[in-house]
Amino acid sequence: MSACPDKTQLLHGLLDGELDAVNAAAFEAHLKTCEACNAEYLRQLSLRDRVATPGVAHRAPERLRANIEAMIAEEAAPAAHPPPRSVRRAWWAAGGAGAGGLIAAALALTIAIPQMTEASLDRQLVAGHVRSLLANHLVDIQTSNQHVVRPWFNGKVDVAPPAPELADQGFPLVGGRLDYLDGRVTPAIVYKRRLHTVNLFVWPAETRTGRDHVARRDGYSVVEWTEGGLRFAAVSDIGVDELQQFRHAFEAAAPAS
Amino acid sequence: MTSRQTPPASAAGSDPARQFRETVLPHLDAAYNFARYLSRDATVAEDIVQEAFLRAFRAFPTWRGGSAKAWLFAIVRNCFLNWAAGQGGAARVVSESTLSETQAEALANAVDLDQEDPETALIRRKDAEAIRAVIEELPEPFRETLVLRELEELSYKEIAALTATPIGTVMSRLARARQMLADMLLPPSDLAGGAPAAQEVRR
């Protein structure tokens, strides 16, 4: 410090209102007699002014706020609450036999539960999408090779979801993941669109029927369709139009199985 | 430092989600600001804050009251450290001697501040950007300390607890951080003479 090196902490303490009354009074008295310290004090005050310029502190982006709101709603919903991620991981670590049993259990659960309404499924789809962006659980298997993604699901789920590479159409393949939606283990294929993520959930068509369906919910787009005995739902924070583009690219590339 | 001493979410049955929204969510901007200056990356900061809020929500029943902001910040900080560890520690290794070109550039942009310009808003925005850039270039742990005190207005005691550092060290870090900033942002003071504080605090 320019002035009295031994007074540096007093100076900043006063600036921050962290001095007790005795020390504050003593140092204020010192400021009146020590020109150098006083100059430094004024300098620090003007620095504080500069740093307080509006726009220096960052504000959370709206999207982040929306994601966190969705997370709270999802976490707080008691009925549709999926098991914690670590538990889900543990299932798969438990290996084939155990996993098969659990899939059976999940299926039994599906039968027991009345068919969900479209709106509530939309909500779950969006929640699943948001969840996938949290805590690095975007993909369980990360590869842009479709011949790796598809076999990876073998034995883990009761569908063989197509996972074509769509990089040429602007939707590069990122990988695959197991999610838990509507009471059953559900494969999700993950694509990117620029910096955005597209989650594509896949079911056997017989367990989930319905019209083609487009929805916008909490700032996310949902596009659902049936093709080749499979039911697809794409979810992303890109616009509905772009997500429809994704659907067309996907349909064109995925051979109806 | 507004809503402190909020009572703990005692009865878990009494709508924890609402309690969480009322006591923790208001600190979202602050949490993001903190994560952003720690990570110096918009996307990473979003990831960190998102994960921190998930953890905070799940841990909310165990929150014992006190400053919700300080509690949340501790979680944000842990998430950041986890992320940084995943980066091979690269994020923490910032040479103390680099007060670099980025700063110089940012400052060059801010230099014309004193001149009259009808577009004051634009200038101010440029000024804010320049100040941001200078703060971002501060080496750790000075950057963290400065942001916590100057932008987030945590007390010395809270900063000491959050960063697991003695208060005396917090104070010297803060003084050093401010000195570096002042040297970058303010015209040289006549009385500062030839002894800018840079060499003084070498913990």
Q: Degrees (nearest 5) of the Cα angle B78, B83, B87? A: 140
Per-range mean pLDDT, top range of A181-190, A233-242, B192-201:
A233-242
Residues 28-57 of A with CB under 8 A from B: 35-36, 39-40, 43-44, 46-48, 50-51, 53-57
B49 touches chain A (CB under 8 A): yes
Q: Name which of B32, B58, B155 is nearest A59 (Cβ-Cβ).
A: B32
Mean pLDDT over each residue of chain A, to the nearest integer: 78
Q: How close, in Å, is residue A159 to chain B by CA atoms?
A: 31
Residues 148-167 of A with CB under 8 A from B: none
pLDDT for residue B105: 53
Chain A positions touching B197 (Cβ under 8 A) are 1-2, 8
Nearest alpha carbon to residue A68 among B77, B70, B20, B159: B20
Distance of alpha carbon A50 from alpha carbon B187, whole angstroms: 12
Q: Which of A20, A43, A62, A195 to mutate to test the interface with B (most CBs of B within 10 A)?
A: A43
Per-range mean pLDDT, top range of A104-118, A169-183, B105-119, B173-187:
B173-187
Lowest-confidence segment of A129-133, B159-163, B182-186 by average pLDDT: A129-133
B60, pLDDT greater than 50: yes
Q: Are B41 and B91 in contact (CB under 8 A)?
A: no
Distance of alpha carbon A64 from alpha carbon B49, whole angstroms: 8
Mean pLDDT over each residue of chain B, to the nearest integer: 77
Q: pLDDT for A35-67, tens place per residue?
A: 999 999 999 999 999 998 888 999 999 999 999
Q: pLDDT for B129-175, tens place per residue?
A: 889 999 999 998 999 999 999 999 999 999 999 999 898 999 999 99
Amino acid at A239: G
A172 touches chain B (CB under 8 A): no
Chain A to chain B Cβ contacts (< 8 Å): 141
Distance of alpha carbon A1 from alpha carbon A189, whole angstroms: 59
Decide if A51 and B135 are in contact by the 8 Å CB cutoff. yes
The model's confidence at residue A180, banded by pLDDT at 50, 70 and 90, is confident
Higher pLDDT, A109 or B161: B161
Across B5-21, average pLDDT: 64
A208, pLDDT greater than 70: no
Q: pLDDT for A226-239, tens place per residue?
A: 888 888 999 998 88
Higher pLDDT, B71 or B186: B71
pLDDT for residue B202: 41
- Contacts of residue B160, defined as CB under 8 A and 6 or more positions apart, other chains included, come to B166, B167, B169, B170
Decide if B200 and A12 are in contact by the 8 Å CB cutoff. no
- Contacts of residue B1, defined as CB under 8 A and 6 or more positions apart, other chains included, come to B67, B69, B153, B154, B155
Chain B positions touching A63 (Cβ under 8 A) are 46
- Other beta carbons less than 10 A from residue A154's beta carbon: 8
Q: Name which of A18, A73, A133 is nearest B156 (Cβ-Cβ).
A: A18
B149 touches chain A (CB under 8 A): yes
Provide the edge-to-edge strand list for the sheet that holds A230-236.
A141-142, A173-181, A184-193, A196-204, A230-236, A220-227, A213-217
Q: Which of B53, B172, B184 to mutate to test the interface with A (most CBs of A within 10 A)?
A: B53
Q: Residue A223 gets which letter from DSSP? A: E
pLDDT for residue B152: 93
Chain B positions touching A75 (Cβ under 8 A) are 17, 54, 57-58
- Contacts of residue A167, defined as CB under 8 A and 6 or more positions apart, other chains included, come to A144, A173
